[in-house]
Structure 1
Amino acid sequence: MASDFNKATHIRYFLRCLKTHLPTAYTSNDSQRMTLAFFVLCGLDLLGALEANTTEDEREAYVAWIYTCQHPDGGFRGFTGADLGEERTQDNEHWDPANIAATYFALASLVILGDDLSRVKRSQCLRWLKRLQLSDGTFGEALGGEGEAHSGRDMRFCYCAAAIRWILAGGTTEEEDIDVDGLVRFIEASQTYEGGFANGPFYEAHAGWTYCAIAALSLLGLLHPPAKPRRRAQPWPSDDSVEQMLGWLVNLQTSLLQEEDLSISDSTEAIAQLELENVAQQTPVESIQVLSPEDPLTDGVDAEPLYDELQWAGLTGRCNKVADTCYAFWAGGSLTILNSVHLLDQGALRRYLLEKTQHRIGGFGKLPGDAPDIMHSCLGLAGLAGMGEPDLMRYDPSLCISLQAKQRLESLPWRQRCLSN
């Protein structure tokens, strides 16, 4: 199969998901409808196909539905099914909570749809966000009956909090801000000896948690890849930790594509050979640097490759796991934020996505041979966008939306006023 990006089939796939009934397998995700909506809208946004394939009335209807999920005390619900409406009282309001993940997805979706966010209860949302923060700096998912934050200490919620704060220009006006220092301390404490980030201190590093940590720090304005190699800014404590993190991320690229590649029937020598083939493609850790986009990729890197190029090499979330489409974003997006995606074998990653998990009906599956699903289809596009796929929009890896949508948000008068205060 040629490494062709089938843009037209991807557009048709996302339009089917947007305008027709989803397969019955999604029924159990009905309470996460805001999440599904984001992945569909984000996919069409990255394809540059949203406005051309929907009418203004349709887009206004999507915006109106999102606002029906807005909670009166700030934040957004995951779907309308929890809205108690006129039956809502002090005794039962804990059954009608806003959700931190749904709030991020709602705000990002509104930005993609071109809404000016003028109907967002901004002050209430920022106050609600502060109430969700726990004593260790992390965030809960929702508020309970006594106003306490529930289900916290999750790096994903830390990312959602940082993204909500950034979109709403929190910390720039009279609203009381979250404890940024506490959040950063939690993130820093979650970096492991391997260099990646875990879901909390003393857990295993994972590409998904690492993305959430790096993107959160970026949105908090604390991550500044330097203009010159070996010069660093906050929050990293040393150059060694940056190199260690980049080395760990790069070595998540793997030629292990199927579960049978890890079968116990495989010989130790065969598995070792696969690992050697994988490692052979990686830049040595001692030559890895956080680069600005203008810096040449020559210092410390041999001009001629020493090994033949791998045909397919996807990205995985943890050591000793097979490649998975979504990690082209979780790991690849982390490297894109750090201006270091060039350290990957981008040709082998692109071929993995387009020849192994791109589906003939459009979208991407999780693993080779899998049917497409909304999340992996969106994140597969995001992974390709991070590598500069010409048929995709340029995108912002920290928010996972197109640069066009982000720039529209940044140009809104209310947001500019907040930032100027």
Structure 2
Amino acid sequence: MASEIFERDRHVTFLQMEYQLLPSPYQSQEINSLTLAYFVISGLDLLAAPDRLVDKEAVAKWVLSLQAHPRSQSELDNGQFYGFYGSRSAQFPSEDKDNGALLSCSVSNLASTYCAVAILKIIGYDLSSIDSESILMSMRNLQQPDGSFMPIHTGAETDLRFIYCAVAICHMMGNWSGMDKEKAKAYIINCQRSDFFFQSYDGGFGLTPGSESHGLSPHLISSSVTSFPLEFRSFVPLQRQAADGGFQGRPNKPSDTCYAFWIGSVLKVIGGHKFIDKKALHGFLLTCQSEYGGFSKFPGDFPDLYHSYYGFTAFSLLEEPGLKPLCVELGMSAIAAIGI
């Protein structure tokens, strides 16, 4: 039987265990170590856990050790991205399969760089102390002619998620030299589904131009890069609250814990948060709360870090006692966002 209350202390214990040692199933996600660390550190901060649970000096040292650095100033123009590696193994030089030679090739990526900068900000590290010039100057190498961003300089998919990462990085560093905002704005607008007769009828945003509207599309970038016409601001989010009280990412999909954040945060940004059926959403989230601490994707499943973190952010949006207020634009507590 699902608990009828938010089990804060159990969630703190869950994150504390993950902070000390990740379970073996996470071995396959070693390449995403920074992202997993972000969920743990930011989660403990949102839960207002005591500072003694996190060794901030050790965390900062580990995060900074994952930054890629050019060997000289001239290398900033070589097309590579000098952000943060996702894990220790990502720092290893890759092998050229044609001749067996080791290649000195940076594989730092945009998502991990967002997580690294966010972690440093959450623990109160002075961001002016890091090599921001290398990050921002080389980040422009990832922006494409259409305004989108690749996550790595060697090529990959481009979509709104990576524009969000770039926006958040520039905002946290207080320096917008890392991107062309006007090009990014044009790409964002091209991702809106506004052809009511032949395409999507909901006026939402796909991850790429012409794709299906999706609750994961980071509408939050609008607050920093652009603003949208008011007539487009209320179509998608409220349609995504399902009969069970949870939010779904797309029509005809089951409710999922993480969309309580993705959709709820959009509504918060555009001023529609008051229209959420909060009691119903609260009830759905409790059905995904694990007896072991943390949250699962669907009711009855085992908890995982991703859905646990977005369960915590959702309860923060619902103003659950014992949780810090959330800065939805940056995905961290409001106190951490303003640097207090």
TM (norm. structure 2) is: 0.88
- Runs (4 or more) in structure 1 with deviation over 4 Å come to none
2:302 to 351, 371, 374: 371
Distance 1:154 1:67, change over 3 A: same
1:12-51 aligned within 5 A: 12-20=13-21, 22-51=22-51
2:160 corresponds to 1:164: no
Cα pair 1:134 1:152 within 8 Å, conserved: no
State the distance in 2 between where 1:71 and 1:177 align: 16
| Distance (Å, rounded) in 2 between the aligned partners of 1:371 and 1:98 | 31
Equivalent residue in structure 2 for 1:81, among 86, 89, 97: 89
Separation of aligned partners in 1, 2:293 and 2:178: 43
1:82-137 deviation line (CA, Å, top 9, x unaligned): 2248x9xx97232x321000000000011111111243211111101111100110
Matched, 1:319 2:319: no
**What is the letter of the counterpart of residue 207 of structure 2?**
N
Choose the corresponding residue for 2:330, options 385, 399, 406. Answer: 399
Number of the residue aligned with 1:331: 263
One-letter code aligned to 2:28: S
**SS in structure 2 opposite 1:333?**
helix
How do 1:185-334 residues align onto structure 2 when only pairs under 5 Å count?
A: 185-193=186-194, 194-209=202-217, 212=218, 214-220=219-225, 222=226, 235-236=227-228, 238-242=229-233, 246-255=234-243, 312-334=244-266
1:65 corresponds in structure 2 to 62
Q: 2:133 aligned with 1:123, yes or no?
A: yes
Give the C-alpha shift of residue 152 in structure 1.
3.6
* Counterpart in the other structure of 2:145: 135
Give the 3-state SS of the residue equivalent to 1:315 in structure 2: coil
Cα deviation per residue 1:165-184 (whole Å; 9 max; x = unaligned)? 1111123xxxx452111101
Partner SS, residue 142 of structure 1 = coil
* CA distance in 2: counterparts of 1:342 and 1:132, whole angstroms: 38
Shift of 1:219: 2.8
List per-residue Cα deviations over 1:135-181 (Å, max 9, x = no partner): 1100011123xxxxx1142111110010011111123xxxx452111
Contact 2:30 2:87 in 1 (8 A): yes
What's the % identity of the aligned pairs? 32
Alpha-carbon distance between aligned partners in 2 of 1:240 and 1:396, rounded to the nearest angstrom: 25
Instruction: Output the amino acid matched with 1:14.
Output: L
For 1:112 and 1:200, the matched residues in 2 are separated by 30
* Alpha-carbon distance in 2 for matches of 1:376, 1:2: 17
Which amino acid letter does the alignment assign opposite residue 185 of structure 1?
Answer: A
Confirm or deny: 8 A CA contact 1:41 1:50 kept in the other structure.
no
Matched residue SS, 2:235: helix
Distance apart, 1:341 and its partner CA: 1.1
Q: CA RMSD in A?
A: 1.8
Aligned to 2:182: 181
Aligned equivalents of 2:295, 2:311: Cα separation in 1:
6
Bigger CA radius of gyration: 1
Question: 1:385, 1:393 within 8 Å by CA — same for their partners in 2?
Answer: yes
Residues in 1 aligned to 2:20 and 2:52: alpha-carbon distance in whole angstroms: 14
User: 1:361, CA displacement in angstroms?
Assistant: 1.1
- List runs of 5+ in structure 1 lacking aligned partners: 145-149, 223-234, 256-311, 412-421
The equivalent of 2:197 in structure 1 is none
Question: What's 1:362 paired with?
Answer: 293
Cα distance in 2 between the residues matched to 1:367 and 1:338? 27
Does the CA-based 8 Å contact 2:204-2:232 persist in structure 1? Answer: no
Name the TM-score, length of structure 1 as normaliser: 0.72
Mapped to 1, the partners of 2:92 and 2:33 lie a distance apart of 17
* Contact 2:192–2:206 (CA under 8 A) maintained in structure 1: yes
Given residue 60 of structure 1, which amino acid in structure 2 is its aligned partner?
Answer: E
Residue correspondences, number = 315
